[in-house]
Amino acid sequence: MNKILINSFFISLIAVFGAAAQEQKDFSLHSHNDYLQTVPFWTAFSAGANSIEVDVILKEGRLMAAHEAASINSDQTIESLYLDPITKGIKSGLISKIDFHLLVDLKTEAYASLEVLLEIMKDYEYMLYSSGNPGGLKLIISGNRPNPEDYSKYPEWMFFDYQSKELGKGLPWEKIGMVSMSFRQFSVWNGKGRMVEEQRKAVQDFIDLVHSFDKPVRFWGSPDSKSAWKAFYEMGEDYINTDHPIAAAEYLSKLGQNVYQNTNFHEVYYPKFDVDGAATPVKNVILMIGDGNGLAQISAALFANDNQLNLTQLKNMGMVKTQAADDFTTDSAAGATAYATGEKTNNRALGVDPSGKELANLPDILDSYGFSSGIITTDQLTGATPASFYAHYPERDDSDHIAAYLSKSKLDLFVGGGKSRFEKEMVNLRNAEFTLVESLEDLKGERVGYFAAEYSLPKVLDGRGDYLLKSTNAALKFFEKKKSPFFLMVEAANIDSGGHSNSTSMIVSEMLDFDQVIGEVIRFADENPGTLVLITADHETGGVSIPQGDIASQTVELAYHSDDHTGIMVPIFAYGAHSGDFRGVYENTEVFHKIMKLLKEYHQK
C-alpha cells in the first residue's frame, strides 16, 4: 500500500474515532520517534497522543526527518510529515483543537538548526501558540539545544526540553516545556512484573520533584509494555513514552473499565464436610450455573473478597469441556442443553438434538422418579440457560415459541424475569395449575411461578439487590414443604454479560452475588444430608485473564481476549453426597449422566 493510500486510510479512521481519542485526558502519550511510524503524525493523532516526536537533521538548508544522515529520505521533512498534515487537518476540520505539541529532537548543531526552523515556521504562524492564540501549536526543542540563558531569545511558541536531575528555582522555567530523562538513570526494569521498590521510589521521587515546579515529565528509553504503561500512569508520568501509541491508548483508555476495587464484601460459610464425598444416598440435586464463569472470573472475585469465597472452600472439583455439536465454542443454549439432557446439540438449539428431535430433560425425566423440580435465574425465563430445562426448540431467540413450552413442562417452580414474554401464556400456565404469585414470600402450593420483572432484571450494580439469594432461599423452603426429593437449577446469568461487555465491575460483582447464594446452598446441604450441590458454568466468556491486582485493597485488573464465548474448559465444584464422583476432566454431557447414574442407584420409577 503506497503512502497516499495509507494516509487516506488513516484520515478516514480519524473522522470516525480521532476526535474521541483527542478528548481522552486521563493520560497523555508521547509518540516516540513518530516519524518512523508507517503513517507519521496521523497514527499519533488518532491515538490521542499529546506529544509527538520528530528527529531532524539539518542538511543543505532543510530539516530532514531522520535519526542519522544515512537514513535521510528527501521526501521526508518536518514540513511534509508534520506541519503540512496539521495544516490540512485544521482546514478540513479533522483537527478541531490543537491539544498536542511537537517535540523536535535536533540531531545537528542547535543554533544553526533553529535558525532554519524559525524561517520554516514563518509559513505556519497562524497556527502557532502565542499569548493571543493560547490554543496554538507549541514546539518543544530537544536533543541539541541552545544554552538555557538563550531560551528567552526564542519565540513564544518555542519551548525547550530540560534534561537534568538537577532542578532549581534559577532555571528558565517559563521556557521549559517538559523535563525528560533517560529511564535507565533510575531503573533497569524491563517492563515485566513489578519494579524493584527502591528503583520505583527513585522514579516516583523524580516525578514529584518535577511536578513541584509545575512542569510535565517524560522518560525516554523506558519499557514499552502494558505493565509499564500502567506503572507510569499510576506514578503520574505526564507523557508516557511509547513506540505503539494506538495500542497504549487502547489499553490505558480501558483501565477504568478493566480495574475494579470491590467495596461490598461478604463473609464465607465454612462447610461441615460431614458427608462430603460419602457414598450415601442422593436425595436432592442443586445445579448452580454461573453463565460465562471461568477460572479467571472466579479468581477475580476471590481476590476482590479478601481472598476468600464460599466456592473455594470446596474440596471436590473437576474440569468440563464445553464444545457444542456443531462448533468448537458453545453458546448458552447448547451448553445448558448438554447439562439438561446429556446430549450435545447445535449452537442456538434448546432441548433438541442436532436434527431437531426433542430430548428429554432432567425435570421431565426426574418427574417419573417422584422428584419435584425448579429453575431460578437472574435472566429472563426465556433465556437460553433456563429455557434448556423446559423448552424444545431449535432457535433460542424465538421467545414466543419458547415461552409456550413452560406450561407443558414438568417444572414445579420457576422464578425469573421476562414476564412480558409470557403475555399469551398466562391462561395456559394457570391451566397447568401454576399459581402465579406476586412475591417470593408467596411461594406456596403444588406448582408456583414468580415473574420477578416485566423485562430484564437489573444488574447488581444497578440495584438488583439480593434477589438471587432471596429467590434461592424461598425455593428451598418451597421444596422442603413438598417433602419430596427435588432438582433445582440456579443460574447467575450476568457474569456472562460482564464478559461480553468486558466489564470487570460487572464480572466481579455478579460473581460475588452468586457466591453468596453458593454459601447458603452449601449451608442447606449441611442441614439436609443427601443433598448434592454442583457449581459450574456453561462456558467461559471474554477470554479473561488477570494481569494485576492487589489483595490488600481488594482490587483486580482483568484483561480480555474476546467479547464472546471461548472454548476454555470451565471448572465444576461439587459438595455433599457422592461429590467425589465429579472429579476429573470430562465432557459437559457427563454431568447429566453422572447425576442420572446416582439417582437411578437410589430412586425407583
Alpha helices in 449-542 (DSSP H): 467-482, 494-500, 504-527
DSSP 45-112: HHTT-SEEEEEEEEETTEEEE-SSGGG--TT-BHIIIIIHHHHHHHHHTS-S----EEEEEE-S-HHH
d(CA 141, CA 160): 5
| Contact between residue 313 and residue 268 where contact means Cβ atoms under 8 Å apart | yes
Is 581 within any annotated ligand binding site? no
Bridge partner residues of 531 (DSSP): 284
CB burial string 34-61: b at 16+ within 10 A, e below = bbbbebbbbbbbbbbbbbbbbbbbbeee
SS3 524: helix
Is 312 within any annotated ligand binding site? no
Q: How far is CA 376 from the centre of its chain?
A: 26
d(CA 115, CA 141): 13
* Residue recorded with cell 530523562: 181
Name residue 335's amino acid: G
Question: Phi and psi for 133 in degrees, rounded to 5?
Answer: -135, 70
Q: How far is CA 522 from the centre of its chain?
A: 30
For Cα atoms 320, 282, 310, give the angle at the middle one, nearest 5 degrees: 55
Is 385 within any annotated ligand binding site? yes
d(CA 495, CA 378): 10
Is 401 within any annotated ligand binding site? no
Element (H, E) at 338: helix 332-341
For Cα atoms 211, 214, 220, give the angle at the middle one, nearest 5 degrees: 55
Is 398 within any annotated ligand binding site? no
DSSP 190-243: -SSS---HHHHHHHHHHHHHHHHTT--EEEES---SHHHHHHHHHHT-SSEEES
Is 515 within any annotated ligand binding site? no
Q: How far is CA 414 from the centre of its chain?
A: 31
Bridge partner residues of 537 (DSSP): none
d(CA 416, CA 154): 71
**Which of 282, 341, 219, 183 has the alpha carbon at shortest distance from 578?**
282
Query: Among 332, 409, 503, 509, which one carries the catalytic annotation?
Result: 332
d(CA 207, CA 394): 61
SS3 579: helix
- Grid cell of 489 as nine digits: 437449577
d(CA 282, CA 275): 11
Is 161 within any annotated ligand binding site? no
Active site residue 332: yes
| Contact between residue 399 and residue 351 where contact means Cβ atoms under 8 Å apart | no
SS3 560: strand
Active site residues: 332
Pick out the residues of the known binding site.
291, 385, 491, 496, 500, 538-539
Q: Can you say which residues are annotated as belonging to the binding site for Zn(2+)?
A: 291, 496, 500, 538-539
